[in-house]
Amino acid sequence: MNDYLASLTTEGINPETAMIDEMSTEQMLALMNQEDAKVPAAVGAEIPQIARAVEALYRALSTGGRMFYIGAGTSGRLGVLDASECLPTFGVDPSLVQGYIAGGDSALRVPVEGCEDDGEEGRALIDRIGVTNKDAVIGISASGSAAFVIEALRRAGEVGAVTIGVVNNKDTKLEEAASICIAPVVGPEVIAGSTRLKAGTAQKLVLNMLTTSTMVKLGKTYNNLMVDLKASNKKLFDRSLRIIKTATGVDEATAEKYLQESSLDCKLAIMMIKSGLNAGEAKRVLTECGGNLKKAIRVCSKVI
């Protein structure tokens, strides 16, 4: 038996759920809910480390770098999910936030056994995707023992990238490979070792915080509005109109007029309304302000 793995909190047996197979359905669900309620506090305890990671990510992305999620199993799927959501939510280039899972994209649907133990492939992946010293790499592993993730982080560190670990145990092998480690410990799972449960939930909350906070700092929102979305379908067109109306106070007809004039660019439409500039001039000022809408509006106000 591997003593390291046996000592992990995520491998422990939860005494509260020992008789779960003899419970009624409602008792079982209530117990799961009770265990899930422990997750936010565990994440909250890691906010200082999460803040360090956000600051590092902001520095990397604001100076031409990218961020990469590297994981295996549930952890890998969560990384790919969070990366893929950054495009529709914040209008970023697909290359800015990328997610990779041990075993490749097929492992998103069907488990590819043994891939998480392939450390050499983790190192090769870092070289293959071209990680540089401008980038940040986030390794995700509930146990902190996945060689694929650990070696990917080590290789990323060797090329000078920022390395961040997200793990659900303390004092792990993954922590040794990361310059910043976020470790929300949620205790043994309802079903022993099933880290898609509390550990996975904690990871999802952490990843939400990392990308959302970084994107806010990069000016991808206006107040709490996702102004960088593109109105590429009916739902997003309607959402864009509501965002424009909320941000500017105009009526729906005016919001739609400017949205059309901006080629369905919600942020540009707001900038045009707020500044009185045409699409070309408004876009120029936004570009000069690094895409930060609030900053661009203030610049125009000073000029006026």
Catalytic (active-site) positions: 85, 116
CB distance 158 to 133 below 8 Å: no
Q: Which of 177, 166, 174 is nearest to 204 (CA)?
A: 166
CA 123 to chain centre: 22
CA distances (Å), 231 to each of 4, 240, 243, in order? 50, 6, 11
- Token couple for 67: 């961020």
Q: Which of 84, 219, 203 is nearest to 228 (CA)?
A: 219
User: What are the phi and psi torsion angles at 54 (to 5°)?
Assistant: -60, -45
Q: Which of 210, 56, 276, 176 is nearest to 202 (CA)?
A: 210
CA atoms lying within 13 Å on the CB side of residue 10: 26
